[in-house]
Amino acid sequence: MKIVVLKFGGTSVGSIKKIKKVADIIAGYKKKKYKVIVISSAMSGVTNELIKKSFEISDNFSESEHDVLVSSGEQVACSLIAGRLIHKGYKSRSWLSWQIPIITVGIHKNSRINEINRKKITKYLKEGGIPIIAGFQGVNNENRITTLGRGGSDASAIMVAKFFKAQRCIIYTDVEGVYTTDPNKLKKAKKIKVISYEEMLEMASLGAKVMQPVSIQDARLNRIDIEVKSSFIKKTGTLITKRSSIINNKIVTGISSTQNDSKVSLIGVKDKPGVAASIFKPLSKNLINVDMVVQNISANGRETDLTFTIKTEDLNKTKKAIQENKNINYRKLLFEKGVSKISVIGVGMITTPGVTFRMFQTLANKKINIQVISTSEIKISVLIDKKNTKKALSALHKEFKLDNKK
Ligand code: ADP
Ligand code: ASP
Ligand code: MG
């Protein structure tokens, strides 16, 4: 069977007009004799609204009920798409995860797809039907509804492509593809024709919302090529694929930035073995993700300062966990909300020395202070004052020749 998986994001199904357009795109593939499997997200804004409602009920809303609640948005979008296709004369229906089923493992709000039963969908495809599958959701082995983390319908699409051995997996979104940096933040951003899984994974993890990081991991493990393109403009998008298929002479492929980071500093903690561990243990117990960490060299051999970053949404939990931790002493505890992490990413860095220097010099020329640094083989991240984000993005984009047409 020649199967294509089409995933539509929130903005692509954000209004009735757009849903009608989506139905036309789907019909186009059907006419080209593809067996089409569609994955849809909720209409844009709906998931956020549902989460807001849960907070109005309780600031400690049940995690299992959270998943039942927020997964409902996808049901609406799927039935509207299926309804439109039926209106156009096609055989179509919506499928919720428990009806297939799509089995997940892991915790509520952050589960992962482990298995998809192919039987019913395969039969439906053979009968000429167009299944419209709700993204973002699954069921666990206790038959409870689960969700896959924000942006999780990307992961639904990749895993459906894997289990149904799809020939193509296309992610339709509101931009024309993956850009050198967020095109909504920097006008000069350029569309990238081809990008490796590794670079895309770094870009997504470091703030490029266009793809959910977990979905890229799944695609990389299963060697699934992903096409990212616009639902609104008919143009070639971006191909995400394995590194060996790419010829690239750029040192830096893209630049990502984050919006919602906070910085925590503990001033004057004892400089002895085990202190960092005792600070981070309660954070990990509370499922708080610590990102960048820096510990100053102790000036007097007795005391040091420790700084780390977290997501701003975890700030209150973090404050509480540190203040209630009787195992650590510090002189001062500082929190700062207005920080942003800027990262330059590219496999070309492995073989090109001097990228770190160029990044730091560029920021220095713009009088932007670097607060924390972290690096890996293919990326360099720095923490800066949030108000300098745009200036930094623009200067780095130019420095690494990303302004130039490819
Ligand atoms: P969808 O609703 O289709 O899942 P998302 O809002 O999750 O769409 O992702 C698309 C958005 O990702 C774009 O509107 C864009 O602002 C943002 N984005 C961030 N970084 C990038 C990038 N490097 N390339 C393209 N888009 C990006
Ligand atoms: N609707 C979900 C969200 O907003 C899933 C997705 O968009 O992929 O996170
Ligand atoms: Mg998304």
Helix ranges restricted to H, 242-298: 275-285
| Closest alpha carbon to 157 in 146, 170, 176 | 170
The reply to whether ligand 1 has any atom less than 6 angstroms from the CB of 215 is: no
Whether omega before 101 lies within 30 degrees of 0, making that bond cis, reads yes
**CB 315 within 8 Å of CB 335:** yes
The reply to whether ligand 2 has any atom less than 6 angstroms from the CB of 136 is: yes
Token reading at 47: 């998931």
Q: Pocket of ligand 2, candidates 47, 148, 212, 215: which has the most ligand atoms within 8 Å of its Cβ, to mutate?
A: 47
CA 102 to chain centre: 21
Percent of all residues in the chain with a pLDDT value above 70, rounded to a whole number: 100
- The residue contributing the CA closest to ligand 1 atom 11 is 210
Beta bridge partners of 39: 7, 133
Dihedrals phi, psi of 210, to nearest 5 degrees: -55, -30
The reply to whether ligand 1 has any atom less than 6 angstroms from the CB of 135 is: no
The reply to whether ligand 1 has any atom less than 6 angstroms from the CB of 208 is: yes
CA distance 8 to 36: 13
- pLDDT at residue 247 is higher than 70: yes
- Give the pLDDT band of residue 184 (cuts 50, 70, 90): very high
Q: State the pLDDT at residue 300.
A: 74
Q: What is the pLDDT of residues 99-142, one digit of tens each?
A: 999 999 999 999 999 999 999 999 999 999 999 999 999 999 99
Residue-by-residue DSSP string for 134-167: ETTEEE-TTS-EEE-STTTHHHHHHHHHHHTT-S
- Give the pLDDT band of residue 405 (cuts 50, 70, 90): low
Cα–ligand 3 centroid distance for 150 (angstroms): 8
For the ranges 40-49, 236-245, 297-306, the lowest mean pLDDT is seen at 297-306
Q: State the pLDDT at residue 243.
A: 87
57, containing H or E segment: helix 46-57
Cα–ligand 1 centroid distance for 297 (angstroms): 39
Q: State the pLDDT at residue 359.
A: 96
CA distance 139 to 372: 40
Q: Do the domain assignments include residue 154?
A: yes
> Residue 74: which domain range?
3-174
Q: Do the domain assignments include residue 294?
A: no
Token reading at 355: 């990228």
Percent of all residues in the chain with a pLDDT value above 90, rounded to a whole number: 85
Q: What is the pLDDT of residues 5-35, one digit of tens each?
A: 999 999 999 999 999 999 999 999 999 999 9
Q: Do the domain assignments include residue 226?
A: no
Cα–ligand 3 centroid distance for 323 (angstroms): 36
CATH for 122: 3.40.1160.10
DSSP one-letter code for 206: T
Strands (E), 58-200: 92-95, 102-105, 112-116, 130-134, 137-139, 145-147, 168-173, 194-196
In the chain, what is the greatest distance between 2 CA atoms, to the nearest angstrom? 78
Q: State the pLDDT at residue 406.
A: 57
Ligand at shortest distance from the CA of 155: 2
Q: State the pLDDT at residue 238.
A: 97
Q: State the pLDDT at residue 352.
A: 86
CA distance 376 to 330: 30
Cα–ligand 1 centroid distance for 152 (angstroms): 13
Q: Do the domain assignments include residue 63?
A: yes
- The residue contributing the CA closest to ligand 2 atom 9 is 150
CA distance 148 to 107: 9
- pLDDT at residue 249 is higher than 80: no
Q: What is the pLDDT of residues 364-386, one digit of tens each?
A: 999 999 999 999 999 999 999 99
CA 330 to chain centre: 35
Q: Do the domain assignments include residue 37?
A: yes
- pLDDT at residue 398 is higher than 80: yes
CA distance 90 to 84: 9
Q: Do the domain assignments include residue 277?
A: no
CA distance 341 to 207: 9
Token reading at 387: 């108000």
CA distance 33 to 48: 37
Mean pLDDT of the chain: 94
**CB 194 within 8 Å of CB 177:** no
The reply to whether ligand 1 has any atom less than 6 angstroms from the CB of 176 is: no
Domain count, the chain: 1
Residues with C-beta atoms within 5 A of ion ligand 3: 9, 151
Q: Do the domain assignments include residue 204?
A: no
Cα–ligand 2 centroid distance for 187 (angstroms): 25
CA distance 225 to 168: 7
Q: Do the domain assignments include residue 64?
A: yes
Based on its alpha-carbon atoms, the radius of gyration of the chain, rounded to whole angstroms, reads 23
- The residue contributing the CA closest to ligand 2 atom 6 is 151
